[in-house]
Structure 1
Amino acid sequence: MSRIGIGIVGAGRIGKLHAENMIKHPDIELIGVSDVQLNEALLRWSKPFNLSIVTDSYLQLIEDERVDAIFICSPTNTHIDIIRAAAAAGKHIFCEKPISFHYEETKQVLQLVQEAGIIFQVGFNRRFDHNFSKVRALVDADKIGEPHIIKITSRDPAPPPASYIAASGGMFMDMSIHDFDMARFLAGSEVETVFAEGTVLVDPAIGELGDIDTAIVTLRFTNGALGVIDNSRRAAYGYDQRVEILGAKGSIGVENDLPTTVKISTEEAIVTDHPQYFFLDRYMASYKAELEHFIECVSNGAAPSVSVFDGYQAERIACAARRSLGEHRIVHMEEVV
């Protein structure tokens, strides 16, 4: 198999992570990166990779015939323009979440992808996590029967700066969207209704920007199951990522990944490691696995397991949660069309 040429748009934290994984992959040729901030720091970082292109114009990557696929890792408000240009050029696309801030625009991407006949994968990396993917496999194997209750805990160790919050699209679109996708993934069902409660308990600056930092979202699925998601921008003990599914025949639980499984037991206390602190540590393996999946799909012409439709549905749930919070009521998903 010939190597797949890739260009990365956006050389921030996630773009750099993908680049570092790509250069170790035998079936990938990383052609170049683009970033609007083409500065000395970026040039120093890219130098060991011996890239053909380091530019501030993503069009230079899209127009290069050696580039088979584009990884979109730039801010969300730039995604749609890049997607349109890449699809028009027949480039396969991997796009970090969310695809856009407006599910109506994301719905248009569904048609673009169909018409262009390209592979399009969304960066919901948690589906590829070793814990969560096993939970889905166990549910599919009917190990606990029909799911009744799905509980997701997702809490960051510390809030991002106000500058990030201002451009993030809000907590539901930026942070909770992973959990909305995970809820659909684990339930094997679409969401029927959404009810959200939220407040500001972590950082007053977040509230001043019109956002929240603490939330509970309740979901009802079309298969009858119920879901509860709790989110916080600050868990002082580390990055908290847990799941529990109660089914007709039993339950499945996922605890936090710890740096070690060492437990110290004394008369005074029983002590274990804190959860891993940063999301890159917790999900490093899942980022590699989603990249591997994308390359396999491009190589074999197969549809990816996480598609534009999944991104579209998660954005609709985020919109419903925002509407529910603002209007203090249950929102039916049929309202968000």
Structure 2
Amino acid sequence: MIRVALLSKWHVHAVDYAKQATELENISIEMVWDEDRVRGEEWSRELNVPFEAELESVLSNPSVDGVIVTAPTSEHKDVLMKAAQHGKHIFTEKVLALTIEECDGILAEVEKAEVEFMISLPRLGEDYYLYAQQAVDNEWLGQLTMVRCRVAHNGAVSTSQNPEGWLPSHFYEKEKTGGGAFIDLGAHPIYLANRLAGTPVAVTARLQSVFHPGVDDHAVALVEYGKGVLGVLETSFVSSGSPFQLELYGTEGTLLIEQNTVRIKSAQFDRENWVYPENLPAQLSTPMEQWVQAIEGSEEPVITKEDAIELTLVNQAAGLSQTSGQRIEINQIKS
């Protein structure tokens, strides 16, 4: 049994991860910590587990094997490094950290402690992504030239039920989040495009605000990859009814994914007509299941540290591009 502590209910997915952990027979939630004591105590009562006010007490507790981290992004470096230094396995919400320097520091401690690390990038296990990766790997589209991906919702839009929108107000506190829509919801287009298009080379981004000055509530980034591939990545907290879209374009075909519909037009299949594949690849284990399997030694995770690093690189470059109004080369950040 893997005994875990839940570290903060700050992120909107905290409840989802607690539910996933509860449903896995080889995880036991032992305690809750939260930087907001009132929120943490309430959550601990809901889960019927103890609340611990001191992070150090949680991490030094020998009855805790691992931690599930949904703390503010600005606190990831401190929380995750301390967890690794105490020998705790780590499951963390995206993004890993605000800068590549912080990522390097965290992952250095993870490697030193030889603990299992997992970042929640769930769409890397979805059937549509796996099919898209097959299309790229098998060159069904010829040479890949462009990837476009959009993930958006209306979390910042006022309604009668939620006058301020359904996202929590602290999602617009830049000192905690490090940004707005792009750093959070925009992570999904980023890591999907990174996998499909390769290593990011440069980023030009516009992070715009409609309702929340100081952070972006919708954004678009043009990401340049090797061999001339372009990525157009879009996200929004202010779009109602916007479907998930993933589009791949190549010299010999096009793959379009919208919500649950996948279609491909390829010179290798039927140049004139769309083909709707009947059997998509089987979905992979969830990030949390992959984490458990890694701890138990039964299977290597598919989601990697490199996925986490490149996600932060694009995010950091996008922020610099917005601030400077210029195209940012990834090597500028790495150097």
Task: Please state which band the TM-score falls in when normalised by the shorter chain.
Answer: 0.7 to 0.9
Does 2:245 align with 1:247?
Answer: no
Name the aligned partner's letter for residue 2 of structure 2: I
Tell me the secondary structure at the aligned position of residue 51 of structure 2: strand
Question: What is the TM-score with the length of structure 2 in the denominator?
Answer: 0.80
Identify the residue that residue 165 of structure 1 maps to in structure 2: 172
Q: Does 1:145 align with 2:142?
A: yes
**Structure 2 contact 151–188 (Cα < 8 Å) conserved:** no
| Residue pair 2:148, 2:248 contacting (<8 A) in 1 also | yes
Task: Tell me the amino acid that sits aligned with residue 169 of structure 1.
Answer: G
Percent identity, please.
Answer: 21
Q: Is the Cα–Cα contact under 8 Å of residues 119 and 301 in structure 1 kept in the other structure?
A: no
Which whole-Å CA distance do the structure 2 matches of 1:173 and 1:29 have between them? 30
**Cα separation, partners in 2 of 1:243 and 1:46, compared to 1, 3 Å:** same
Whole-Å separation in 2 of the counterparts to 1:57 and 1:257: 44
Distance 2:183 2:90 in 1: 21
TM-score (norm 1): 0.80
Change (3 A) 1:95 1:198: closer
Question: Structure 2 CA distance, aligned partners of 1:133 and 1:241?
Answer: 16
Structure 2 counterpart SS, 1:36: coil
- Kept after mapping to 1: 8 A contact 2:120/2:288: no
Stretches (4+) displaced over 3 A: 41-50, 160-163
How many Å apart are 1:162 and its aligned residue? 5.3
Give 1:196's aligned residue.
205
Determine the structure 2 residue equivalent to 1:179: 189
**Relative to structure 1, is the Cα distance of residues 38 and 212 closer, same or farther in structure 2, using a 3 angstrom cutoff?**
closer
Q: Distance in 2 between matches of 1:161 and 1:30?
A: 25
Aligned residue type for 1:230: E
Task: From 105, 109, 128, give the equivalent of 1:108.
Answer: 105
- 5+ unaligned residues in a row in structure 1: which ranges? 259-285
- Quickly say closer, same or farther: Cα 1:57–1:307, change in 2 above 3 A: farther
Distance 1:335 1:173, change over 3 A: same
Equivalent in 305, 310, 313 of residue 313 of structure 1: 310
Contact 2:187–2:311 (Cα < 8 Å) also in 1 = yes
> For residues 63 and 302 of structure 1, do their structure 2 counterparts lie closer, same or farther at Cα, with a shift above 3 Å needed?
farther
Superposed counterparts of 1:63-142, under 5 Å: 63-142=60-139
- What per-residue deviation string (whole Å, max 9, x for no partner) do you get for residues 230-249 of structure 1? 222211225x3210111233
Tell me, yes or no, if the aligned pair for 1:23 and 1:49 is still in contact at 8 Å. Answer: no
Name the residue aligned to 2:274.
Answer: none
1:38 aligns with 2:54: no
- CA RMSD in angstroms, aligned pairs only: 2.5
Q: Deviations over 1:286-309 (max 9, x none)?
A: 997111111111111755332333
Call closer, same or farther: CA 1:145–1:298 in 2, change over 3 Å: farther
What are the ranges of 5 or more consecutive residues in structure 2 without an aligned counterpart?
157-166, 262-282
The answer for the alignment partner of 1:221 in structure 2 is 225
* CA–CA distance in structure 2, aligned partners of residues 18 and 302 of structure 1: 21
